[in-house]
Amino acid sequence: MPEFLIVLHRKVADVSDDVPGKEIAKAEIFLARLARKLGVVSLTDFKSQSPAVTDALAGLNGIDLSDVKLEKETWYAPLQGLQTVTALRDHLHSHPATLPNTKEVLGELDQWSHVLTQATKEGVPWHLLVAI
């Protein structure tokens, strides 16, 4: 089962390196639709990874990417991610029966909110990594 992870461009004080995202990943399709409905960017639109990570993952699966030009890692403004997380949290708090795992998703979104708030305060860009 995939997991969504927040990757910060650099270390930020009071932010754990291990912020969970398994429940958010499970609800990915619903959360993407909800984000569009709420007029914010979908979390999955923040996906990116470094060429080194792409190459390593391909190597683990027996795929040689030596002849492929890999995309550069893209970094996003943390405030935009925070706006998405806040909108999703607010909606799920108001409509807790929306998902079978709403409580767990909210728990992760609360942690994501903390990370992105701190990143916003320090001006540290971020992106979403999908770990498989």
22 sits in which H/E element:
helix 22-26
Residue 8: closest CA among 78, 85, 79, 80: 78
Q: Can you give the pTM of this predicted structure? A: 0.86
pLDDT at site 73: 87
Q: Counting beta carbons within 10 angstroms of the beta carbon of residue 85, is it exposed (0 to 12), middle (13 to 18) or buried (19 or more)? A: buried
pLDDT at 17: 84
DSSP 101: T
Q: Which of 43, 128, 35, 33 is nearest to 88 (CA)?
A: 35
What's the domain range around 92? Answer: 3-131
Instruction: List all residues 6 or more positions away from 131 whose beta carbon is below 8 Å from its beta carbon.
Output: 2, 3, 4, 5
Nearest to 48 by CA among 5, 87, 88: 5
State yes or no: pLDDT of 16 exceeds 80: yes
Please give the residue that has the higher pLDDT: either 32 or 64: 32
Q: Look at the chain and report how many structural domains it folds into.
A: 1
| 33-92 per-position pLDDT tens digit | 999 999 999 999 999 877 666 555 556 667 665 666 657 889 999 999 999 999 999 999
* Beta pairing partners, 47: 128
Backbone angles phi, psi at 7, to 5 degrees: -115, 120
Tell me the average pLDDT of the chain. 89
Say what the pLDDT of residue 7 is: 93
